[in-house]
Amino acid sequence: MRIRAERDDLADVLTRAGRGVGTRSPLPILQGLLCEVEGGTLRVTGTDTEVTVRTSVDVEVLSEGRTVIPARLASEAVRKLPPGAVTIDASDGEVEITGSGPRFKLRELKVDDFPEIVEPDLGPGVDVDGAELLEAISQVGVAASTDEARPTLTGVLFEAEDDHLRVVATDSYRLAVRDLNGLAPSDTSLVPYRALRELSRTIGDGKWNMAFGSREARFRSDLGSVTVRLIEAAFPNYRQLLPEGYPYQLKVEKAALQEAVGRASLVAEDHIPVRLGLTAGGLELSVIRQEVGEEAEHVPGEYNGEEMTVAFNTKYLTDGLAAAKGDEVVLETVDPLKPGLLRGAASDDFRYLLMPVRL
């Protein structure tokens, strides 16, 4: 296999495919990228067998063929070459990468050892706005667990809800729900969040096609595709956690509350909660850490309800505020021992439920 292409084009396609490469796989072949050249196109595939990224780029083909090249070394080598044309030549167990003077020689991996990746037949799928879906994924993703011992909670649920798509994530301490109009899938699927995090860096934020099957999901754009194995487990019944409504509501400026919580976090640690004293004029925010000190301030707002003090994990509250959209946010409560619901004041398409900390 021998090709020539512009450095930036090659670096882009190798880097994007490299997002699918498993960094901790015991199989050395999975540290490589499968490169296939045919008909004027270089197709690059990276996989850890659970997430597969496929990309392609038009190149000048000097010799067709297939090879597997070390993912990280090859992409970094191309990126560090001078601007201009770059040649990749794979033969006799070596991959030679040259461009405007510098030359790298890397060990070629065995093509026959690379796992056979079969493109699943998932049907036509649905066309979606990638930017909108990425925003929704980032909003709910803050609530996805990172504990691999609880794989069900490391995923994002995609499900049809009336005439729209709903995405949901929870780590059992908080729950995030986002609704998107007009994108209802035909299946309910639990997709690993670690794969969804890579979508913006692999297939961009333009127009996507999204398709789900019984075991896999595929997200595709003009830049390539990401195919991911679904989590085969039952997602928690999150609906029972979402009440029909809350009797008490606090409305405040989002930026003011974010800044106040940020100041409180200087004193607090992850296990130290921030206290919110809800009053008619807004809230009295405070945090106390015995061995360090305390911080307190008033944040103006509108509150209708009984005066009470609720406390939340500082990081969880910070994440929820960052995910909510708009200039104002609403915190809805029942009592200090029940979950609070955070949302943007202008819209309820995103809801963030967080458990209180008992004082």
Q: How does pLDDT run across 252-287, given as a tens digit for each residue?
A: 999 999 999 999 999 987 679 999 999 999 999 999
From the list 217, 223, 204, the residue with the least C-alpha distance to 55 is 223
In this prediction, residue 185 has a pLDDT band, given cuts at 50, 70 and 90, of low
In this prediction, residue 197 has a pLDDT band, given cuts at 50, 70 and 90, of very high
What's the mean pLDDT when you consider all of the chain?
94
Q: Contact at 8 Å (CB) between 320 and 276?
A: no
The secondary structure of residue 357, as a DSSP letter, is P
In this prediction, residue 140 has a pLDDT band, given cuts at 50, 70 and 90, of very high
By three-state DSSP, how is residue 113 classified?
A: helix
Q: Contact at 8 Å (CB) between 243 and 333?
A: no
Residue 359: pLDDT over 90: no
* Total-model pTM: 0.92
Strands across the sheet containing 207-212: 65-70, 32-38, 41-47, 51-58, 224-229, 216-221, 207-212, 126-129
pLDDT confidence of residue 269: 76
